[in-house]
Structure 1
Amino acid sequence: MNLKYPKITVVTPSYNQAPFLKMTLESILNQDYPNLEYIVIDGGSTDGSVDILRQYDKQLTYWVSEPDQGQTDALNKGFLRATGDILCWLCSDDLFESWTLKEVAQFFQDNPQARVVYGDSTWIDVEGQPLRIKKELPFNRFIFLYSHNFIPQPSTFWRRDLYEEVGGLNSEFDLAMDADLWMRFSEVTDFYHVRRSWSKMRLYPEQKTQRLSVRSREEGRMIEQRYCGEEPMWSFKVKKFLATSLRVGWKLAAGNYW
């Protein structure tokens, strides 16, 4: 089947990430995807990021550097400008694999009923060296809600009409905005999973989710409260144990730990 190229919009939020920004930009632009809309929203960086963005000015659909209210605000600004058929975001310290966008396009062409898909990912260190592959399971709402958000955000792509249907990102969240979006996606459509690494996620102490782990847990509890608020604590704890056990056993059986 000949591949048609739907317009894919990639939004990159960034703030003072000059050491990684160029690699992120090139991981997208060097794929030579013929129908790419690439939007970068910088929060007013002072570390040389703007100079890097100027170097890529002609290759970017749109970019701006100005103060914002954080990552979710930056993403919302970017998605307001998005005109692509398929949407995603890639943070400025993460990377796409060289084959990602064409494989995503092929998937949506072969599966017209699909509205959201995620692949696997590879953890990398601050130098970009691989640490381990994050092999994931097909989506399971019970595991997702009662265990943790296991979907690799930079390997997740969705149709624009789905994003608009659920109301987009919730600015109330600064760290768990992806988990909140996935839960709302799951209320109206099925998730699809492809066992193929589509991104490289950088793991290092200064990473936002590492630095703000307490806030991340608080936002996770906000989501739990929305869907499990009336559930007795004993029941929630039992389900959490069962969900974690199911996830570990399923991953072992699928060979996902090696």
Structure 2
Amino acid sequence: MNQPLVTIAVPSYNQGRFLDAALTSIFAQDVPVEVFVLDGGSTDNSVQVIEKWAHRLAAWRSHRDDGQAAAINEGIANGTAPYVCWLNSDDWFEPNGLKTLLEAIEKASEAPAVYGKCWNIIEKSGQRRSVWVEAFSERRLSVRCIISQPASLIRRSAWQAIGGVDGSLHMAMDYDLWWRLYKSAGPLVHIDEFVAVNREHEATKTKTLRRRHYSEAMAVVRKYNGSVPLKWWLFQPYAVWFKSIFP
């Protein structure tokens, strides 16, 4: 069996209806992976889904934990592969998406991470649209998160150098991670190909906790950029209030 090239953490909690699709997409990739499923003690059918895939998993557990960030750090720390990522249990990889990311990061030897394009699918309507992703720029990163987490792959050495995701964050942990990777190791590299899909449904944190999401994201910008660009103040009412009325 080939040595794994990518460690993938799959944090999950009561997402059994989505988890099988996420794991199917991982193991359909033509890439040697080690996969750790970190379930927070689900009360739905998650454990049954995990047990179906247990023979393919490096390890799994199901018990109460300290949240998504802690689960991600735990899963990646348990692995040994030179590249790492996490895939939330309600997202999935496009066919050959992980292979595309792997080829890109092996070419970009100086980059701490690479990221591609990502689809956003609204579960209720089935509508598909592109997530806003663009070439890396510190100025643009200060205005918005220009990287889609499911479509990213990180060098383990860069991940370990900054200690993984910040366990104190619950909404903007990925945005904070991009800033710290950049400040520590330089620009991330963008590839112009669709590699993953983000599923938007009524239970997602960004859907149910918009105000907290914006608050965390603005704190991240202030911390690394020194100030919060005007755009954040102008668009916060739209994202928090108007979208709750007209989703």
Does the alignment reach a TM-score above 0.5?
yes
Which residue, out of 168, 182, 198, partners 2:178? 182
Structure 2 equivalent of residue 249 of structure 1: none
Structure 1 equivalent of residue 22 of structure 2: 24
Residues 228, 119 of structure 1: alpha-carbon distance in 2 compared, 3 angstrom cutoff:
closer
User: How far does the alpha carbon of each residue in 1:79-102 deviate from its partner, in whole angstroms, 9 at most, with x for none?
Assistant: 221211111110000010011122
User: How far does the alpha carbon of each residue in 1:158-184 deviate from its partner, in whole angstroms, 9 at most, with x for none?
Assistant: 100001112211111011000111000
Which residue, out of 82, 85, 102, partners 1:85? 82
Which runs of 5 or more structure 1 residues have no equivalent in the other structure?
245-258
Indicate yes or no: 2:120 matched with 1:151: no
Structure 2 equivalent of residue 256 of structure 1: none
Q: Say how many residue pairs are matched.
A: 231
Indicate yes or no: 2:136 matched with 1:139: yes
Q: Kindly indicate whether the alpha-carbon contact (under 8 Å) linking 2:11 and 2:87 is maintained by their aligned counterparts in 1.
A: yes
Q: Percent identity?
A: 32
Which residue, out of 189, 206, 210, partners 2:207? 210
Indicate yes or no: 2:118 matched with 1:121: yes
After the TM superposition, which residues 194-233 of structure 1 pair with which residues of structure 2 at under 5 Å, given as runs?
Answer: 194-229=191-226, 231=227
Which residue, out of 9, 13, 16, partners 1:15? 13
Indicate the structure (1 or 2) with the bigger Cα radius of gyration. 1
After TM superposition, the structure 1 stretch with the greater mean CA deviation from structure 2, 215-224 or 155-164, is 215-224
How much does 1:134 deviate?
2.7
Question: Separation in 2 of the partners of 1:216 and 1:224?
Answer: 12
Residues 122, 228 of structure 1: alpha-carbon distance in 2 compared, 3 angstrom cutoff:
closer
Q: Kindly indicate whether the alpha-carbon contact (under 8 Å) linking 1:122 and 1:130 is maintained by their aligned counterparts in 2.
A: no
Question: Separation in 1 of the partners of 2:148 and 2:102?
Answer: 18
Question: Separation in 2 of the partners of 1:48 and 1:162?
Answer: 35
TM-score by length of 1: 0.83
Q: Kindly indicate whether the alpha-carbon contact (under 8 Å) linking 2:8 and 2:85 is maintained by their aligned counterparts in 1.
A: yes
Runs of 4+ in 1 over 6 A off after TM superposition: none
Residues 218, 81 of structure 1: alpha-carbon distance in 2 compared, 3 angstrom cutoff:
same
User: How far does the alpha carbon of each residue in 1:109-164 deviate from its partner, in whole angstroms, 9 at most, with x for none?
Assistant: 3332332100000111227945112362101111211x221210000111000011
Which residue, out of 131, 147, 164, partners 1:168? 164
Q: CA RMSD in A?
A: 2.1
Find the residue that maps to 1:31 and give its secondary structure. Answer: coil
Question: Separation in 1 of the partners of 2:152 and 2:194?
Answer: 11
Find the residue that maps to 2:81 and give its secondary structure. Answer: coil
Q: Kindly indicate whether the alpha-carbon contact (under 8 Å) linking 1:135 and 1:195 is maintained by their aligned counterparts in 2.
A: no
TM-score by length of 2: 0.87
After TM superposition, the structure 1 stretch with the greater mean CA deviation from structure 2, 157-166 or 4-13, is 4-13
Find the residue that maps to 1:123 and give its secondary structure. Answer: strand
Structure 2 equivalent of residue 73 of structure 1: 70
